[in-house]
Structure 1
Amino acid sequence: MIWNHRITRILVGILLFALAIVLLLPGLTGFTSLDGTVNARFAIVNAPIDGEVAETPPKVGARVLAGAPLALIHNARVNRAILTSLQADHMTAVEHVAALKRERDELVRLRDQLGARMEVFTRTTVADLQRQVEILNKRVKVSKAQDNVAQVDFDRRLALEAKGILSTKMVESARAAWEAAGGELEISGLTVAQLEQKLEAVRKGVFVFGDGQNDVPYSRQRQDEVIVRISDLNTRIAENETRGAQVQMQLIEEENRVRSLTSASDPSPFDGVVWSSNIVNGSNVILNTELMRILDCSDLFVDILVPEVDYQEIYPGLTAEVRLLGGGESFKGVVLSVRGSSAVAEKDTLAANQPETAKRNDRIRVGLAPSALNTDYANFCQVGRSVQVRLPKPNIRIWNWIESLWFSIS
């Protein structure tokens, strides 16, 4: 029989040896994982305000662009009490300022009228005093002439007395007349000086007329009162304008707040796919309610499990080859992180489940290089697909394998 031939037995032995090599070679040259899953992170979009969804949101599986509106929410039940109160306060301040300005303008006109009347009164008084000074100056001249005449008469009579022509009584009469003329001249001079002082005072705005009279006329007193009132009104106008400006700033802030609570739109944080949606057109939502989840296809990765005994052979930066289960095309990858079997892995923001195991396996995360998977939005960028991952061994260390085997059985 052919099976009894030596050559046949040799060929069978060679085939079995080659088969053993083929079966052992992948394990000696690298690590292969069959439990990998294409994974990605998603962003949770929450409701920014309370309200009702006003437009139909993107459906699950729809592609969205960064910044595109995902959900438009309207709220017709916003509390506007504070806004109304601020508007009333601002309107009150504005109207008060307008009323104060009208009153001030009227007082300014009254002040100008009093000023004009005061100017006329001052000019009239100055002119009257000037005429009185002129009249008194004429009287001074007359008194001076009379004084000279009285002096001449006195000197003449005194000389006649010395000759015995006139009596002493007539001389004394002439002396009295001369002294009276001199006194009249002095009185006229003092009166002129007094009027000139009054004239100078009037030119300076001070009116001195005598006892029981004010130093200024009624127009000036009224004008001073009006000026004080105008100053007070200016202060109140400034206070109300400041108050109005402050209320205006508060009003702008409150309007912005009410506007932000009345209508809001949630934009997409990045280019991606709607992974899940909890709303439809007309849905009522409250603040921070989850609306939808957006899948980030720009950063795809694969989580696999590798026996912990090979921890030292795998490190971040190690290249990998990834193949979709059932597919013929392979994709390049690189190890992103290596975690021990007891490490707590992130789960809340991952779109696909991570592989679970009860054995001592390291968790290896392999990032996928940019490929057609990142733009396959119609198929959710293949997230959730099972993959095979091949990690090469830098060196075939048979002796290390023997030592680890001996350590495990000793």
Structure 2
Amino acid sequence: MLTSLKNTKRAIGLGVALIAAVVLVPALANFQSINAIVNTHYTVIKSPIEGALDGFSKMPGQAIAQGEELVRISNLRFKESAVNEMEVEQKTLNERSLGLQQHLKNLQQLQKELQTRVTVHRSHEFLRLEEQLAQAKAEKKAQESLIREQQLLAQRNALLVKENFISPAQNEAAQYALEVTQSRLDIFQARIRLLETEKQAVQRFVYLGEGRNDVPYTQQRLDDVRLQITDVAARLRENERRSSDVQLQIDKERESMAVSREVRMLAPNPGVLWRKFGSNGTEVVIGTDLAHVISCDNLFLDVAVPESSLESFQVGKAVQYRLIGGTAWMTGHIDAVTGSGNNLQDMTLVAQLQREKKDARIFVKIASADLDKAQENLCYAGRKVDVKVPRDWRPSVWLSRVSSFFT
């Protein structure tokens, strides 16, 4: 009887020890947490213009393809006053260009006429000087012949005076006539030099003479017309450049107007419409949030863990997890670790993990292919998960935890 009772007590003791081993060994070998969720970042779709929404038929939870149209924004109150003002300025510049072109054409025609008149005047002046010069040279030649004749006569008179055939008074009269002829020769020589100087000046387009300008009036008008042509041509080029700049501004403004009148917002990547702000007919302004889009390709686990155990969670370490309510265990890898002091919330996260102030966080990268029909289930964003992480073998830490468990 006593032996049987002892065996029963031994069996009960062994059973308790076995149950304790089954419960404690996994707990000591693995860290397990159910304060974890599937998370991802969302992409914000904002309105680039103000206007009314149209074609916003997608509902939250529906799958979207990359480049698919989500919504159209139409701005029917867009004003074209700026373009109208530039078009009026463009019209004025074009009319001014036509006027300047006609003015330039008239000046060029006048320049041709004045150039012809200057050429005719110069040719006439040149011919007149040549004729006067030829006449002066002929008179000079005649005076030279007369001087030679009077010199011979003076020589004969000198012989006749010696022979008393003529009186001295007649000889003196012949001498006086010779001096007068020589003076006339000097006058003609001076005139020839003056005419040659004027001829050389005319060849250089300079006109000399008493009571005359150095250039004729027609030449002065021609120079003035040339200056006017230069000025008008410069104004025409400036006007055409301004017209070209205004036309470029009009084209850019029209392109901007075309963009600002209607914008088609396209999905930036394949995924799921997570949130929708507004419906058809909703008025929005620039920068208004229209929708939040999530992608199943960038899923991760957001896990709360005790900060005292952070040494066991190295980046790259394998982690087992399963969805709460599920039975299949899947594998991910630790991507990042942060302490409890990092309390700043990431507002672009789809779901916010509820954790204690002393809890640290680990982020586990998972593959969306491991999840069944992730896109049809909103990428499982915000879904609770059960996470197991193998503990590192550190006997001193394990003994302290076992002793703390029994105490």
TM-score by length of 2: 0.86
Does residue 215 (structure 1) correspond to residue 214 (structure 2)? The answer is yes
List alignment gaps of at least 5 residues for structure 2. none
CA distance in 1, matches of 2:83, 2:373: 48
CA distance in 1, matches of 2:57, 2:179: 122
Counterpart in the other structure of 1:391: 389
Measured after TM superposition, the shift of residue 288 of structure 1 is: 1.2
CA distance in 2, matches of 1:361, 1:221: 98
Does residue 122 (structure 1) correspond to residue 119 (structure 2)? The answer is no
Contact 1:73 1:265 in 2 (8 A): yes
SS of equivalent to 1:371: helix
Give 1:50-129 correspondences, 5 Å limit.
50-56=50-56, 58-129=58-129
List alignment gaps of at least 5 residues for structure 1. none
Counterpart in the other structure of 2:153: 153
SS of equivalent to 1:59: coil
Measured after TM superposition, the shift of residue 343 of structure 1 is: 4.2
Corresponding residue to 1:380 among 367, 378, 381: 378
Does residue 369 (structure 1) correspond to residue 367 (structure 2)? The answer is yes
CA distance in 2, matches of 1:220, 1:307: 103
- In structure 2, the CA distance between the partners of 1:148 and 1:374, relative to structure 1 (3 Å rule), is farther
Counterpart in the other structure of 2:325: 326
* Structure 2 letter corresponding to 1:317: G
* Structure 2 letter corresponding to 1:29: A
TM-score by length of 1: 0.86
- In structure 2, the CA distance between the partners of 1:192 and 1:308, relative to structure 1 (3 Å rule), is closer
**% identical equivalent positions:** 27
- In structure 2, the CA distance between the partners of 1:306 and 1:139, relative to structure 1 (3 Å rule), is closer
Give 1:222-371 correspondences, 5 Å limit.
222-244=221-243, 247=246, 250-251=249-250, 254-341=253-340, 343-344=342-343, 346-357=345-356, 360-371=358-369
* Structure 2 letter corresponding to 1:395: W
CA distance in 2, matches of 1:350, 1:364: 15
Measured after TM superposition, the shift of residue 205 of structure 1 is: 0.8
- In structure 2, the CA distance between the partners of 1:404 and 1:392, relative to structure 1 (3 Å rule), is closer
Contact 2:28 2:398 in 1 (8 A): no
Counterpart in the other structure of 1:138: 138
Contact 1:140 1:188 in 2 (8 A): yes
Measured after TM superposition, the shift of residue 98 of structure 1 is: 4.0
Superimposed CA distance per residue, residues 136-161 of structure 1 (whole angstroms, 9 cap, x where no aligned partner)? 22222222222222222222223212
SS of equivalent to 1:395: coil
SS of equivalent to 1:216: coil
Measured after TM superposition, the shift of residue 312 of structure 1 is: 3.7
95-104 vs 191-200, which moves further = 95-104
CA distance in 2, matches of 1:167, 1:29: 170
CA distance in 2, matches of 1:387, 1:183: 137
Counterpart in the other structure of 2:397: 400
Counterpart in the other structure of 2:39: 39
Measured after TM superposition, the shift of residue 10 of structure 1 is: 5.6
Counterpart in the other structure of 1:172: 172
RMSD of Structure 2 on Structure 1 (CA) = 3.2
CA distance in 1, matches of 2:118, 2:372: 92
Superimposed CA distance per residue, residues 236-292 of structure 1 (whole angstroms, 9 cap, x where no aligned partner)? 334434544554565555445444433334343433211011233333211111100
* Structure 1 letter corresponding to 2:369: S
Measured after TM superposition, the shift of residue 70 of structure 1 is: 3.2
Does residue 201 (structure 1) correspond to residue 201 (structure 2)? The answer is yes
SS of equivalent to 1:166: coil
- In structure 2, the CA distance between the partners of 1:146 and 1:307, relative to structure 1 (3 Å rule), is closer
Counterpart in the other structure of 1:189: 189
CA distance in 2, matches of 1:222, 1:289: 69
Contact 1:90 1:244 in 2 (8 A): yes
